[in-house]
Chains A and B, each alone.
Chain A
Amino acid sequence: MEVLREKVEEEEEAEREEAAERAERAEKTMRPVEVRTEEAPLTPEMLRDLEKKLSEIETPASEEPPVITKDTIDISSLPLSYKTNTPKEEHLLQVADDFSRQYSHLCPDRVPLFLYPLNECEVPKFVSTTIRPTLLPYPDLYNWDGCAQFVSDFLTMVPLPNPLRPPSSLYSSTTVLKYQKGNCFDFSTLLCSLLIGSGYDAYCVNGYGLRDLCHMDQTREVCPLTVKPKELVKRRERALSKKYTVKPPRDLSSKFEQEQEIKKQREIRAQEQKRLREEEERLLEAEKAKPDPLHGLRVHSWVLVLSGKREVPETFFIDPLTARSYSTQDDRFLGIESIWNHKNYWINMQDCWNCCKDLVFDLGDPVRWEFMLLGTDKPKLSLTEEDDNGMNDEDDVENLGKEDEDKSFDVPHSWVEQIEISPEAFETRCPNGKKVIQYKRAKLEKWAPYLNSNGLVCRLTTYEDLEWTETLEVKEWYQNREDRLELKHINKTTGLNIDYFKPGHPQALRVHSYKSMQPEMDRVMEFYETTRVDGLMKREETATTMTEHYQGRPDFLSYRHITFGPRVKKLALKSAESNPRPIVKITERFLRNSAKPADEDVAERVFLIGEERIQLRYHCRDDHITASKREYLRRTEVDSKGNKIIMTPDMCISFEVEPMEHTKKLLYQYQDMMHLKNEEKVSRHLAWESELEVLEILKLREEEEEAHTLTVSIYDTRRNEKSKEYRETMERVMHEEQLQQVEAQLDYLAPFLAQLPPGEKLTHWQAVCLKDECLSDFKQRLIDKANLIQARFEKETQELQKKQQWYQENQVTLTPEDEDLYLSYCSQAVFRIRILEQRLNRHKELAPLKYLALEKKLYKDPRLVELLKVFA
């Protein structure tokens, strides 16, 4: 092994040197256009020097063990297709080699192609065969954004060993997924496999990108989560003016003055905007990255998705490292060398002086895209423009030659095994289920569900400055919480916390925004009003007031406002909690109840509790602009005779839109007032209950925060304790049944085990002894058996001999009966002897076999197997 590793290292070293050389060469032949445009002050010579220096610097850096080195990869478990090439593949490689040679001959100033890098088993493989289109059984991976997000989350990015050159090797997705690490080529190969598998027209791209792109550096990007969705400005549709729409009243204000005013305001606004713009520019200047000396040379690989399939309306790029999609016009992508999918390989013949902005992605056009294999299913472009330069002629010649060589050559099936991602791995996503992304003024942390005991899955921290020190606000997303908490928004500057809940909280809570969990402070609670019996929608609290909004109540209550007074100090401090704040005023508003006439339908009632005053305002009639009002002033007074005054006309002040007879009556007013008094009591009680409920919710919230239990879906068999228990019990039962069956058969070790102390684990020595004992015992038994048969045989033979002797002696004197008896005995004895003889022979034959069988069995015995294996 050691030798092998050294050898590999040597190889790597050699490769690296070669790579550096090649890079130098490549850089010599680098498209001068690009260098000229992007790096005007640098001459190619300077660049070369720099490049040399850099490669010198980088060489020791890459000496430290890369994250996946070849020796860490266990290639033994990989199937044969990884280690060898089929004849067809060999053929393909040959074709590719030819193509590459022709290409370097025809375009000597371009970098060599990235055609057949080595795989993890050191076997050259054509890049198209490395793509293994797979559709995974996860609904999330059906669309491109899900795929890209998964790839970017699942893998950890390893920078290219040489940022100026494509890697010398390209591993299969199997290995990449296993180690969850890879460079941008691994990323794009995997993503491309998934995208093609789910039906997209996707291609791996070998090209050049900006430094930030290549290094997956998003610190200059604005976090997509912080970008607020642009609010659609709804243009209010002006109702069509109808034939009889009344004319608006004449406008008598001065037009000139209005114009002047508008002009002035516009000027002010323009100034403001200018100032803002300047500010912005200044900021942008500050944020701008240092110029990159390797601009335009950094190799990157990404994915191109062509329009057409899966209803993709427009061709776009996906950066597999960050999972973000970009337009093909984006200036992060500086050029394309070649692209490939699982069927073919194309070289870009277009000039990339203006990044990728001018590229035409019509792969059927042989002028723009030089294909490697014929017989692709891409539609060929009908040549409308005449070929007029030599380059094209050469292409044609080349094409012709190729056509002769391998007409309709199909890319062989991918050598890569089908991509498999276990549900666990899919759920865990990021390596170790954790990932941190730094954005401009923001940090995004992601966790796999159930990884954190409080259900936290995502945290976005926004910072004031670029160095991520001054926290502005924190947003935390939760999943599977039993209290249905979904999002926690903490604003560090104002100290305001906002919790968002999904439907299903025991108190129907939807949003809870607060500064502190202490009661009687500023807070807003919103509820899912449909799940609440009282239809409460929102409750706002300040130190002295409480406002409640209702919806959909049968009594049409829509609003209740309670004003509290300062707590009265009680002399006897009997119990601290039963001193509610006194209520000063309750205002209740009702919606229009169409079953009642407007004059009897109360719109607002105000209970001024301290003044014993009740104010009522009724709803306005449809064709009126004034509403009835009534005010009751309740004073219990005693008249001159000492009688209690029940009701006097001055206790009720009312304004009626249309004076009615029955409301003037004292009896009516008295009854109304009594009714209102009861209502007041009810309202006060409700206010008190609301206060209690707030306390209860706060307590519940605190408990929930403390416990933060997570729910498990009943379909989640892995996490659901109950089902797991059940399954385990079932398994145990099955297992026990099996054991019983085995025991029922016959335990040949039992008598030997019984000699040992019960319940203890066997040692090696004991196991060996046990085995030997068992075997010797068995041998003894076999021998015993053989001896027994032998003894019987001998006995029979002796008896027969005796009988024969006796017969010969007394043959003359014997009666015919005795003779018959003797003969029959003889035949029986001979039969017995023969049988015994046969049994003995058979036993002799079988005994060694039986012995071997037992020995084998003992080696396989579950009780001994572990212990005996070592000595096998």
Chain B
Amino acid sequence: MNHLHDSMEPRVMDDDMLKLAVGEQGPQEEAGQLAKQEGILFKDVLSLQLDFQNILRIDNLWQFENLRKLQLDNNIIERIEGLENLTHLVWLDLSFNNIEAIEGLDTLVNLEDLSLFSNRISKIDALDALVKLQVLSLGNNQISNMMNIIYLRQFKYLRTLSLSGNPISEAEDYKMFICAYLPDLVYLDFRRISDDTKELAEAKHQYGIDELKHRESLMQARLEDEQARREELQKHKAAFVEHLNGSFLFDSMYTEDVEGKKLSYLPGVSELLEAYKDKFVIICLNIFEYGLKQHEKRKTELDTFNECVHEAIQENQEQGKHRIAKFEEKYLLSLNTIREESEVPTIEKKIMECGEDITELFNALMTLEMQLVEQLEETINLFERNIIDLVGLFIENVQSLMAQCRDLENHHHEKLLEISINTLEKNVKGELDEDLPDDVRLVSALFVDKDTIINAVGASHDIHLLKIDNREDELVTRINSWCTHLVDKIHRDETTRNRERVKEISQYVDHMQSELDNLEYGDILD
């Protein structure tokens, strides 16, 4: 682009260059002296300007975690890269570079102002993560397809757009098209869009926009549907009864069951199967509903528990705060008297008193904390017992329902066996020949002898039982693990809380003590 830059040696973004830039752009005057004295950490820098540096590659910026504004304009950068860590970036200027494609911006979710003016970009894309985008400058690029505009419809906050100097801006419909398809836009190519223009554009492109809107709303509806379904499933999973509100389990029993399928062609079996399925599904539904109900119960239990614990902690904290406030009031008063006092023995006495106060405060706070720990322990134990009971009850009931399923399966198995043997006998006698449909002939391989058929039926039965067992096992394991996790977490949280509080108290008391000690030294020095 710029011949002046081309002729110069490309530079590397190294530590020295960054340090220099940070130093130059950092605080000035008195604060600057302090900054120099202490040095500035890259992660404290909020804004960085690196223009006209002949930079070819963006690099070494990973330390600038808190950077809000970055200027890299008028360089010879060819790719957008190395910006992944700069998640707080709000302002990014990459104008007057040699960038050909938009990329590497997926982590910059806070970006509001993006300038890519005068580059070699031909397509607008890869901006999906920039949900807060307000200003987008893409002038003097090589965008030639008007459809790029439609891509920009997803940015709800986009108010300013510049596209002049692109091939599309030559099109006679350019302005109208943009105004129509981006109705929230306020400034186009640095000019305010008048209301008249907007109305005109809307009228002109009414048809296209309506169609687009319709498509978008359909898409939106589909997404919402999907979302709702997912949430529903999530809820069922949390209740550990997912896929039990239908024939899913039953169907899964037959998917891997080759023999079963074959056997279902036998005369009379399809009716049997139908009745079996109905009954089975009813039991499944029972389990499902029971599961949801139990889940609700567990949830209210947990909510009440959390609420109560929270209340107890809050109350305890209030008491603690009150104590501290009272202490501080007194402490300040005594400090003032100490300052005004001139007699050394009195000062020492006062300081002694203060020390005693601090110890007293420490004791009081620790007593409060110990009290709370005891109270919470009791409550937690109660809750643990209750939740384990609940889970146990749930498992028990589910198991009994599952047993019903198994009974059904056994019953079905017997019936099936009976039919099979009957059919076999008929087959042996050759009575079936004429009235059997073709598909039974496929099964005829099974009807060789009694053992084969019994084996086949047995295999099918085993698969079914296995499926049921698996489902039951899964449910039991998951709920048990959930329960253990929950209880563990509660205990762990309580321990952490206790440690934090004790640490906080001792830290505070230490601070007060050391302050008092410092005072003593100071007085002695005086």
Q: Please, which residues of chain B bring their CB within 8 A of the CB of A284?
A: none
Q: Please, which residues of chain A bring their CB within 8 A of the CB of B44?
A: 662
A666–B321 CB distance below 8 A: no
- B30 interfacial contact with A, CB 8 Å: yes
- A748 interfacial contact with B, CB 8 Å: no
User: Among the listed B31, B324, B376, B497, which residue makes an inter-chain contact with A246, where contact means beta carbons less than 8 Å apart?
Assistant: B376
B378–A247 CB distance below 8 A: yes
**Which chain B residue shows the least CB distance to A664?**
B38
User: Among the listed B34, B305, B312, which residue makes an inter-chain contact with A666, where contact means beta carbons less than 8 Å apart?
Assistant: B34
B307–A667 CB distance below 8 A: no
Assuming A246-B312, A246-B378, A246-B379, is B321 touching A667 (CB within 8 A)? no
Interface of chain B: mostly helix, strand, loop or mixed: helix
A242–B308 CB distance below 8 A: yes
- B309 interfacial contact with A, CB 8 Å: yes
User: Among the listed B31, B301, B376, which residue makes an inter-chain contact with A667, where contact means beta carbons less than 8 Å apart?
Assistant: B31
Q: Please, which residues of chain A bring their CB within 8 A of the CB of B301?
A: 243
A244–B500 CB distance below 8 A: no
CA distance A657 to B503 in the complex (A): 10
Per-residue interface assignment for chain B, residues 341 to 366, with 1 indicating a CB less than 8 Å from any chain A CB and 0 otherwise: 00000000000000000000000010
B511–A667 CB distance below 8 A: no
Q: Please, which residues of chain B bring their CB within 8 A of the CB of A674?
A: 31
Q: Please, which residues of chain A bring their CB within 8 A of the CB of B35?
A: 667
User: Among the listed B30, B312, B497, which residue makes an inter-chain contact with A646, where contact means beta carbons less than 8 Å apart?
Assistant: B30
- B431 interfacial contact with A, CB 8 Å: no
Q: Please, which residues of chain A bring their CB within 8 A of the CB of B317?
A: 623-625
- A620 interfacial contact with B, CB 8 Å: yes
Q: Please, which residues of chain B bring their CB within 8 A of the CB of A249?
A: 371, 375
In the assembled complex, the CB of A835 is this many whole angstroms from the nearest CB of chain B, namely: 85
A243–B378 CB distance below 8 A: no
B30–A242 CB distance below 8 A: no
A646-660 with Cβ < 8 A to chain B: 646-647, 653, 655, 657
Q: Which of B305, B313, B317 gathers the greatest number of chain A CB atoms within 10 Å?
A: B317
A624–B504 CB distance below 8 A: yes
- Chain B contributes a number of interface residues (CB within 8 A of A) equal to 41
- B397 interfacial contact with A, CB 8 Å: no
In the assembled complex, the CB of B211 is this many whole angstroms from the nearest CB of chain A, namely: 42
User: Among the listed A244, A624, A657, A670, which residue makes an inter-chain contact with B383, where contact means beta carbons less than 8 Å apart?
Assistant: A244
CA distance A671 to B317 in the complex (A): 33
Q: Please, which residues of chain A bring their CB within 8 A of the CB of B504?
A: 624-626, 657
CA distance A646 to B35 in the complex (A): 12
- B37 interfacial contact with A, CB 8 Å: yes
- A245 interfacial contact with B, CB 8 Å: yes
**Which chain A residue shows the least CB distance to B367?**
A249
CA distance A243 to B515 in the complex (A): 45
B321–A246 CB distance below 8 A: no
CA distance A247 to B375 in the complex (A): 6
CA distance A674 to B28 in the complex (A): 13
Per-residue interface assignment for chain A, residues 259 to 278, with 1 indicating a CB less than 8 Å from any chain B CB and 0 otherwise: 00000000000000000000
B64-83 with Cβ < 8 A to chain A: none
Per-residue interface assignment for chain B, residues 379 to 417, with 1 indicating a CB less than 8 Å from any chain A CB and 0 otherwise: 100110000000000000000000000000000000000
CA distance A670 to B311 in the complex (A): 41
Q: Please, which residues of chain A bring their CB within 8 A of the CB of B501?
A: 625
**Which chain B residue shows the least CB distance to A243?**
B304
In the assembled complex, the CB of A692 is this many whole angstroms from the nearest CB of chain B, namely: 32
CA distance A719 to B486 in the complex (A): 78
CA distance A242 to B386 in the complex (A): 14
In the assembled complex, the CB of A125 is this many whole angstroms from the nearest CB of chain B, namely: 77
B38–A667 CB distance below 8 A: yes
**Which chain B residue shows the least CB distance to A244?**
B308
**Which chain A residue shows the least CB distance to B27?**
A667
- B482 interfacial contact with A, CB 8 Å: no
User: Among the listed B34, B309, B321, B365, which residue makes an inter-chain contact with A670, where contact means beta carbons less than 8 Å apart?
Assistant: B34
User: Among the listed A623, A626, A653, A665, which residue makes an inter-chain contact with B324, where contact means beta carbons less than 8 Å apart?
Assistant: A626
- B508 interfacial contact with A, CB 8 Å: yes
A246–B34 CB distance below 8 A: no
B34–A625 CB distance below 8 A: no
In the assembled complex, the CB of A247 is this many whole angstroms from the nearest CB of chain B, namely: 6
CA distance A575 to B365 in the complex (A): 57
Q: Please, which residues of chain B bring their CB within 8 A of the CB of A247?
A: 375, 378
User: Among the listed A244, A647, A657, which residue makes an inter-chain contact with B309, where contact means beta carbons less than 8 Å apart?
Assistant: A244
B8-41 with Cβ < 8 A to chain A: 27, 30-31, 33-35, 37-38, 40
A242–B307 CB distance below 8 A: yes
- B320 interfacial contact with A, CB 8 Å: yes
Assuming A620-B321, A626-B324, A655-B508, is B308 touching A246 (CB within 8 A)? yes
Q: Please, which residues of chain B bring their CB within 8 A of the CB of A243?
A: 301, 304-305, 308
A646–B500 CB distance below 8 A: no
A625–B320 CB distance below 8 A: yes
In the assembled complex, the CB of A669 is this many whole angstroms from the nearest CB of chain B, namely: 9
A636-690 with Cβ < 8 A to chain B: 646-647, 653, 655, 657, 662, 665-667, 670-671, 674
Assuming A666-B38, A667-B31, A670-B34, is B305 touching A244 (CB within 8 A)? yes
Q: Please, which residues of chain A bring their CB within 8 A of the CB of B383?
A: 244
Q: Please, which residues of chain B bring their CB within 8 A of the CB of A244?
A: 304-305, 307-309, 379, 382-383
In the assembled complex, the CB of A559 is this many whole angstroms from the nearest CB of chain B, namely: 15
B321–A655 CB distance below 8 A: no
B496-526 with Cβ < 8 A to chain A: 497, 500-501, 504-505, 507-508, 511, 515
**Which chain B residue shows the least CB distance to A644?**
B30
In the assembled complex, the CB of A511 is this many whole angstroms from the nearest CB of chain B, namely: 30
CA distance A623 to B310 in the complex (A): 10
B37–A625 CB distance below 8 A: no
Q: Please, which residues of chain A bring their CB within 8 A of the CB of B40?
A: 667
In the assembled complex, the CB of B374 is this many whole angstroms from the nearest CB of chain A, namely: 8
Q: Please, which residues of chain B bring their CB within 8 A of the CB of A662?
A: 44
In the assembled complex, the CB of B432 is this many whole angstroms from the nearest CB of chain A, namely: 67
A646–B304 CB distance below 8 A: no
A245–B320 CB distance below 8 A: no
CA distance A326 to B328 in the complex (A): 59
Q: Please, which residues of chain A bring their CB within 8 A of the CB of B382?
A: 244
In the assembled complex, the CB of B362 is this many whole angstroms from the nearest CB of chain A, namely: 12
CA distance A667 to B365 in the complex (A): 36
CA distance A674 to B500 in the complex (A): 34
Q: Please, which residues of chain B bring their CB within 8 A of the CB of A667?
A: 27, 31, 34-35, 38, 40
Q: Which of A242, A625, A666, A670 gathers the greatest number of chain B CB atoms within 10 Å?
A: A625
Q: Which of B301, B501, B511 gathers the greatest number of chain A CB atoms within 10 Å?
A: B511
User: Among the listed B311, B379, B511, which residue makes an inter-chain contact with A655, where contact means beta carbons less than 8 Å apart?
Assistant: B511
CA distance A653 to B518 in the complex (A): 11
**Which chain B residue shows the least CB distance to A239?**
B311
In the assembled complex, the CB of A614 is this many whole angstroms from the nearest CB of chain B, namely: 15
CA distance A674 to B375 in the complex (A): 48
Per-residue interface assignment for chain B, residues 259 to 281, with 1 indicating a CB less than 8 Å from any chain A CB and 0 otherwise: 00000000000000000000000
Per-residue interface assignment for chain A, residues 65 to 86, with 1 indicating a CB less than 8 Å from any chain B CB and 0 otherwise: 0000000000000000000000
Assuming A246-B376, A249-B375, A666-B37, is B365 touching A625 (CB within 8 A)? yes
Chain A residues near B (Cβ < 8 Å): 242-247, 249, 620, 623-626, 646-647, 653, 655, 657, 662, 665-667, 670-671, 674
List 3 A-B pairs, minimum CB-CB distance, nearest first.
A625-B320, A244-B308, A246-B375
Given contacts A243-B305, A244-B304, A625-B321, 18 further A-B contacts (CB under 8 A): A243-B304, A244-B383, A246-B312, A249-B371, A623-B317, A625-B320, A625-B324, A625-B365, A626-B507, A626-B508, A646-B30, A657-B504, A662-B44, A667-B27, A667-B31, A667-B34, A667-B35, A667-B40
Q: Sample 24 A-B pairs with CB under 8 A, ordered by A number.
A: A242-B308, A243-B304, A244-B307, A244-B379, A245-B311, A245-B312, A246-B375, A246-B378, A247-B375, A623-B317, A623-B497, A623-B500, A625-B321, A625-B504, A625-B505, A626-B324, A626-B505, A626-B507, A655-B508, A665-B38, A666-B37, A667-B27, A667-B34, A670-B31
Chain B residues near A (Cβ < 8 Å): 27, 30-31, 33-35, 37-38, 40, 44, 301, 304-305, 307-309, 311-313, 317, 320-321, 324, 365, 371-372, 375-376, 378-379, 382-383, 497, 500-501, 504-505, 507-508, 511, 515
